[in-house]
Structure 1
Amino acid sequence: MDNIYLDNAGTTPMATSVIEKMTETMTNVFGNASAINFYGRQARKVLDDSRHIIAKSINATADNEIIFTSGGTESDNTAIIQTALARKNEGRHIITTAIEHEAVLKPMAYLEREGFEVTYLPVDENGEISLEDLKRNLREDTILVSVMMGNNEVGSHMPIHEIGQIVANSNAWFHTDCVQTYGILDIDVQADKIDMLSTSAHKLNGPKYMGFLYQRKGLHFESLLKGGDQELKRRAGTENVPAIAGFAQAVLLANRDKADHRKKYMEFKQQLITGLETNKIAFEVNGKVNADELPHVLSIWFKGCRSDVLLTNLDLGGISAAAGSACTAGSLEPSHVLSAMYGTDSPRVGESLRFSFGITNTAAQIDETIALLAKIIKK
């Protein structure tokens, strides 16, 4: 059996055309995009063309609302920390959720140590917040609301459009972590009244260590990195032109086939669930399974089976899955997402696996996964 990769929420393999685009750019465009000579102008054109493709993909009003970064962590940190510092004289209250990625939760913890007050909205068993909770916790001194669009561990999809409307009627700025949804779901920063948005290229078959922060025109804060005047003085450091070109190529691919991919991933999800039922395996899905949730992420509680034992046996059988976020995979701490949804004492916390689908997966691979799971669990 060939190895089967079902951890696409952790990272995705780079698409062939992305590798080709980056190789071509590395070979032929080596100039510094800040230089005014021929080679610099050549690099600048690649940069500008890529920025335009990406701005268009989220319906940004201007290309310069896109700031290229090293990825989702830097984008989240910049949006959260720099907003807090820029607006601290207007208020020191921030709202987020209990199931955000560590790239949001850790900056929040840092700001708490610096004297800011952070409200962590709870979630229900579907991994969703209450809009009434959000309204109730908004105050005159609330300067930022940061809510992820889709959860990376259980695939829950937050009501971003409704959240955007609520926050727009307050004094707060609205930031959303779209690392797990960009390239999968449709995103419109205008319709959803999003002020800042974070992404990462390696989640949509692009290069690692590359992402962008959307910053709505009219919002101002200092660069998190101190140095040169790149990205209109909003992100110091020489731009990684080949990776940016690769990112743009990945965006074009994702947008071209987005609807087909969503349909295929939902079919994989249902195929896996049906296969487990057919094999009479004791399990429950964490969260919901419907068209509103992230199509490529499926979290399953295997009753009575420890996550680490299942993962090890799957890996020995050539199948790669995950127990939670790849960024905390080496941690002995239980999933904060499942703990927030079901309580820290729930057996789900230590008996759940995440399967996440990507463009290289096939129905035959899902069948092989079902067969191996049945064999492991019955043994």
Structure 2
Amino acid sequence: MIDSVYLDHNATTPMRPQAIAAMAEVMHAVGNASSVHTFGRAMRARVDRARATVATLVGAKAADIVFTGGGTEANNTVLQGAGRRRVVISAIEHDSVRLATDGAVVVPVTADGVIDLDALSHLLAASSEPGLVSVMLANNETGVIQPVADVVRIARTAGALVHCDAVQAAGKIAIDMTALGVDYLTLSAHKLGGPQGVGAVVLRPGVPFTAGQRGGGQERGRRAGTENTAGIAGFGAAATVAAEALSSSAALAVLRDKMEHDLAQVAPDAQIFGGGTSRLPNTSCVAMPGVAATTQLMALDLAGVAVSAGSACSSGKVKPSHVLAAMGATESEAASALRISLGWTTTADHVGRFVGAWSDLYRRLSPASRPATAAA
């Protein structure tokens, strides 16, 4: 694995050393953050510090942070606990939003993968019942950034609350919850260099919120259960580093753009989904025409390069992408698409390794490359 290249940071990014150190410190200590003695108060202080740093990352207040067991729990908790029966979601939401409630109204997206704001306005106007609108800040498969502030403006005219899944965006672009205007924001630690199994709901003060877990007074009664203090400490440390490292996003965008340029030189017929609109600086979704994503994944893995096909939240299964289908991709186009996601450990050599391996595979297997090979 020493020579392997990891380009699947949207699935999970390597833990920051600072997060590991913070977790190790907690693991070497003892105490329950709900206890009133010295040991408990020390643990409570660690949780409170992490709460403050996570809040700072998204322009919120510490009191508005509710720690959860991950992004999926955070999304489920909001959609089920906001007190709105009518839920409206975009067609490209993560499964933890799409499957959180029954009967959600789905808003289409454009060919670039951006929510159709006119359609959203019409759907909200079609019912007098105030609803909850859930739109992600950036898509996990394509990296396409959504016009969340515009979504909020439209939702407010219909009396709707707004939830924003910022799991994939946090740590990659600057986030200001107040500027976005959303009522609920959700996060996950392992997407920004923290541990897996820790997330957060960020609440606008005063919004309705029913706890998804009951049985204890933790998290101000908003999420029962003994806090994962080590994980929360790691989350806080990773949030601090992520905030400081936001300026390095431009360098990732340069690497990503060069990668896409180099792929286009080799394969002019390669399709980049969402390439014509604003995206996360680290994310590229590329289709190799005529070659199944599963074939590409296996071949690249054998070449020591790790990427993915769509979301990595399906128990290791590769399934048709609802995101690309919503963008108008054909079944064959969607079935040949890979997600390449860069991160804080990515180097130019890593990207070059991927381009070389992908190009070799294209020349060997893509139907479009065969005439040129035969002529040579």
TM-score (norm 1): 0.92
Identify if the C-alpha distance between structure 1 residues 69 and 26 changes in structure 2 by more than 3 Å, giving closer, same or farther.
Answer: same
Give the alignment partner of residue 266 of structure 1, picking from 249, 253, 265: 253
Identify if the C-alpha distance between structure 1 residues 242 and 364 changes in structure 2 by more than 3 Å, giving closer, same or farther.
Answer: same
Gap runs ≥5 in structure 1: 113-117
> Which residue matches 1:16?
17
> Which residue matches 1:314?
300
AA of the residue aligned to 2:120: L
- Secondary structure of the residue aligned to 1:145 is strand
The answer to whether the 8 A contact 1:323-1:329 is kept is no
Q: Deviations over 1:188-214 (max 9, x none)?
A: 111111100111000001100001001
1:332 CA drift (Å): 5.4
The answer to whether the 8 A contact 2:112-2:276 is kept is no
> Which residue matches 1:41?
41
Pairs aligned (count): 361
Give the alignment partner of residue 335 of structure 1, picking from 321, 337, 348: 321
> Which residue matches 1:101?
94
Q: How does 1:80-229 map to 2 (within 5 A)?
A: 80-83=79-82, 86-87=83-84, 92-108=85-101, 111-112=102-103, 118-138=104-124, 139-229=127-217
Give the alignment partner of residue 279 of structure 1, picking from 266, 274, 293: 266
Identify if the C-alpha distance between structure 1 residues 286 and 349 changes in structure 2 by more than 3 Å, giving closer, same or farther.
Answer: same
1:219 CA drift (Å): 1.7
Q: Deviations over 1:206-228 (max 9, x none)?
A: 10000100111112332111211
> Which residue matches 2:374?
none
The answer to whether the 8 A contact 2:133-2:155 is kept is yes
Identify if the C-alpha distance between structure 1 residues 280 and 337 changes in structure 2 by more than 3 Å, giving closer, same or farther.
Answer: closer
Name the CA distance, whole Å, in 2 between partners of 1:287 and 1:359. 22
AA of the residue aligned to 2:190: H
The answer to whether the 8 A contact 1:46-1:241 is kept is yes
1:287 CA drift (Å): 1.3
Name the CA distance, whole Å, in 1 between partners of 2:86 and 2:210. 20
AA of the residue aligned to 2:234: G
Gap runs ≥5 in structure 2: 365-376
1:280 CA drift (Å): 4.1
The answer to whether the 8 A contact 2:294-2:318 is kept is no
> Which residue matches 1:115?
none
Q: Deviations over 1:83-106 (max 9, x none)?
A: 2xx34xxxx322101110000011
1:328 CA drift (Å): 2.4
Name the CA distance, whole Å, in 1 between partners of 2:152 and 2:55. 19
Q: Deviations over 1:20-61 (max 9, x none)?
A: 111012213x2111111111111111111111111122222x
- Secondary structure of the residue aligned to 1:190 is helix
Name the CA distance, whole Å, in 2 between partners of 1:156 and 1:329. 24
What RMSD in Å do the two structures reach over aligned CA positions? Answer: 1.5
- Secondary structure of the residue aligned to 1:174 is strand
- Secondary structure of the residue aligned to 1:372 is helix
Name the CA distance, whole Å, in 1 between partners of 2:344 and 2:216. 38
Q: How does 1:288-307 map to 2 (within 5 A)?
A: 288-289=275-276, 292-307=278-293
Name the CA distance, whole Å, in 2 between partners of 1:245 and 1:148. 26
Name the CA distance, whole Å, in 2 between partners of 1:4 and 1:149. 28
- Secondary structure of the residue aligned to 2:245 is helix
What percentage of aligned pairs have identical amino acids? 35
AA of the residue aligned to 1:23: A
The answer to whether the 8 A contact 1:275-1:367 is kept is no
1:147 CA drift (Å): 0.5
> Which residue matches 1:253?
241
